[in-house]
Amino acid sequence: METSFTPIQALLGGSLIGSAAVALMALHGRVAGMTGILTGVVLPKGDWDWRLAFLLGAIMAPILILVLTGTSLPLQAELPAWAIVLGGLLVGVGVTFGGGCTSGHGVCGIARLSARSVVATLTFMATTFVTVFVVRHVLGGF
Amino acid sequence: MLRVVSAAAIGLVFGIGIVVSGMANPAKVLNVFDVFGTWDPSLLVVMGSALVVTFVGYRFVLQRPAPTFDRKFHLPTKHDLDVPLIAGSALFGIGWGIAGFCPGGAIPALGSGQPSPLIFVAAMIGGIFSANALKAVLARREALA
């Protein structure tokens, strides 16, 4: 499905994501990785309160935008439910063994010049690229 | 109290960044990888700008002795490029390529009230539970060996 290149929104949104990552380190001393934050809520070991607050804040974002601007979140995921479940399971297992995802490794880890994060990011970007190619151009979609 | 409220505010800013940039929309996210089809490089700009802001911000923040609400910075301590890192990241990419959601995109998308992020997050939490259980078994076996 076609989507248009939106550099201004991308730049603005990316800067907000980066600002949140800097603020979480400055105030809480934590990496803004969604995998680690979520895991600390569903499998709590000690401090889960700030993590749950972070998740709830993030979930509120589309609701706040809807209330303020009247625009609802465009969400195009025309997939059968089994594909979403399969994708979710693979992501959950993968980020647990890989120790992070796009936010933790891709943004925060690379910003710390962590070799692990650079390797992780190159690896998942490569397998995502191959998967998208196979699904869309070899299998012809789900 | 201020500690928890500030975490919610930071989560909100993160979520607004994800929503504004389009990263809660699977079609838009997957199009960055579809160079031979409906290519949309927006995600590269999102990651690039987030990375620049974080890189510069961390230089200043990590020079301080401690964060505001904690006694120390909690930074990852592992340095080895091991099999779980690479195999796990590879699996993550396959799942991301299938569903179009990554964890950071899916959590804010929950607020849309639509079913697909809910199904995805439930399955992802199932994957996190299974993988942590498996990790515990592997660690126990290693401790015995």
Whether B19 and chain A come into contact, CB under 8 Å, resolves to yes
State residue A54's pLDDT score: 98
State residue B142's pLDDT score: 87
Predicted confidence (pLDDT) per residue in B50-95, tens digit: 999 999 999 999 999 999 999 999 999 999 999 999 999 999 999 9
Is the pLDDT confidence value at A138 over 80? yes
- Chain A hits for B78, CB-CB cut-off 8 Å, are 99, 116
For A3-28, what is the mean pLDDT?
Answer: 97
Q: In the structure, what pLDDT confidence band is assigned to residue A49 with cuts at 50, 70 and 90?
A: very high
B41 by DSSP, 3-state: which? coil
For A97-118, what is the mean pLDDT?
Answer: 97
Whether A17 and chain B come into contact, CB under 8 Å, resolves to yes
Is the pLDDT confidence value at B141 over 80? yes
Q: How many helices (H) and strands (E) does chain A have?
A: 6, 0
Q: In the structure, what pLDDT confidence band is assigned to residue B24 with cuts at 50, 70 and 90?
A: very high
State residue B122's pLDDT score: 98
- ipTM exceeding 0.90? yes
State residue B7's pLDDT score: 98
Is the pLDDT confidence value at B26 over 90? yes
- Chain A hits for B122, CB-CB cut-off 8 Å, are 88
State residue B53's pLDDT score: 98
Q: How is residue A47 written in tokens?
A: 């401090």
Cβ-defined contacts of B108-111 (< 8 Å, 24+)? B108/A58, B108/A59, B108/A61, B108/A62, B108/B14, B108/B15, B108/B18, B108/B19, B108/B24, B109/A62, B109/A73, B109/A75, B109/B18, B109/B24, B109/B25, B110/A59, B111/A58, B111/A59, B111/A60, B111/A61, B111/A62, B111/A63, B111/A73, B111/B15
Is the pLDDT confidence value at B11 over 80? yes
State residue A75's pLDDT score: 84
State residue A46's pLDDT score: 85
Whether A41 and chain B come into contact, CB under 8 Å, resolves to no
Q: In the structure, what pLDDT confidence band is assigned to residue B21 with cuts at 50, 70 and 90?
A: very high
State residue A73's pLDDT score: 83
Please name the amino acid found at residue B17.
G
Predicted confidence (pLDDT) per residue in B83-98, tens digit: 999 999 999 999 999 9
For A41-65, what is the mean pLDDT?
Answer: 96
From the CB of residue B8, how many other CB atoms can be counted at a distance below 10 Å?
18
Whether B138 and chain A come into contact, CB under 8 Å, resolves to no
State residue B14's pLDDT score: 98
Q: In the structure, what pLDDT confidence band is assigned to residue A74 with cuts at 50, 70 and 90?
A: confident
User: Do residues A92 and B126 make contact, with C-beta atoms less than 8 angstroms apart?
Assistant: yes
Whether B61 and chain A come into contact, CB under 8 Å, resolves to yes
Scanning A18-37 for CB atoms below 8 A from B yields 18-32, 34-35
Q: In the predicted model, what is the mean pLDDT of chain A?
A: 95
Distance CA B93, CA B121 (A): 16
Distance CA B76, CA B20 (A): 29
Is the pLDDT confidence value at A119 over 80? yes
Q: What is the DSSP letter of B112?
A: G
Q: How many CB pairs under 8 A join A and B?
A: 488
Q: In the structure, what pLDDT confidence band is assigned to residue B41 with cuts at 50, 70 and 90?
A: very high
Is the pLDDT confidence value at A77 over 80? no
Instruction: Select the residue of A17, A30, A42 nearest B14 (Cβ to Cβ).
Output: A17
